[in-house]
Structure 1
Amino acid sequence: MALIPYDDAALGGMQKLHKSFSTYCFANHTIQIQQKWKQLGVAAVVWDAAVVLCTFLEMGGIDLQGRLVIELGAGTGLLGIVATLLGAHVTITDRKAALALLESNVRANLPVDLQPRAAVKELTWGQNLASFSSGTYDFVLGADIVYLEETFGDLLQTLDHLCSDKTVILLSCRLRYERDQKFLKMLNELFSVHEVHYDPSNDVHIFKAQRNVQKGDL
């Protein structure tokens, strides 16, 4: 997730982004997320797309128990925390500048016995991918990570590296601009992409993607 500070005047009605903490309840746990908008910008607040994907996972249509999961652009860590609480072994990633806040939120919200199942790790898309096992993850999660067109190529390279034919990608996003649709078209060149959920109250879509073995693998 890019680190972009914003002026207060640009926030409009999004006063929830000003709050130092935001509280949620998932997997029978109260989760209190520290936010630092003024210091780190978009990487340091909880966006609706993360909450919607957490809710989708908690609904139980996807079994995360014992699964290997990696989250991209984790920001504050809410999604990775919830995935861990739901039974997954999660690698929670973001750029270096976001890691201190991310680590703090993860450790503050996971019971001690579950903390070994969550690893916080630096990942800048497209860089040092060899430090992440290729094709070993059951799920790749991302919430509101599709918004900067200059990162699309690196994000696709990262997804291509991480995924096997069996890996499931779940991307939660609000389709704000034409470039967001452009990314979905680019993603569809490597993976079969389907919308699996839409939350009209938040205008958030969840897309499921898996490698399309018919394109070059058969």
Structure 2
Amino acid sequence: MDLSRSRHLMASDSDRMTFGIKASALNSRLQGLTQQLNTNVEDATLERIAALKKLACHVYLHCALHDGRPTDFMIKTHVREILKGILDLIEQNSASHVIWPLFVAAVELDPLDYELWSDPDTGAVTDGRKLVLDLLARIAKVSVSSVSRTRSVIEQVWQTRDFHLSKAAGSIRTPFHSLNDWEQNVVPLSDALSLV
């Protein structure tokens, strides 16, 4: 069974300990992954794409296994880094193979903090959701990925999270016994989505 799907089924301390060991092992394996390529320009692009995918995996694992939320500092930092990296690649006409990192960053945008960054010269604010929709439109022009389906799922996740915001404001969850943010807002809408 997928480790993230077994998280909320744990009933004993032993189950939680086993889960923790497996999650730590998975994080360690991901941390140890390295991309080994030659040093030409195309390889540098592939290396950047691989780094974005690895960062997206960190976000996914933190959210799915460790109850990470879009409001967590680490998640917000990684989401910004992923989106900046994708924007740079698209501006260099290298938009292929970034749909997975874009999806993860999009569904983990903090709904209460729309500002990703401001332009140091103009002060113009970059709105996260607007940027994601723009990136999806640009990728759709050059990719064979199912961008329209991905966009639809992302928008549904945003709507679901927005809906649950007021409900969740005062609630307290006990670890391992209730659904985390990823399980509640992302999984039901994205389970059949293929982002290969």
TM-score, normalised by the number of residues in structure 2: 0.32
* Bigger radius of gyration among the two: 2
Higher relative contact order (CA 8 A, sep 6+): 2
Greater strand fraction, Structure 1 or Structure 2: 1
Greater helix fraction, Structure 1 or Structure 2: 2
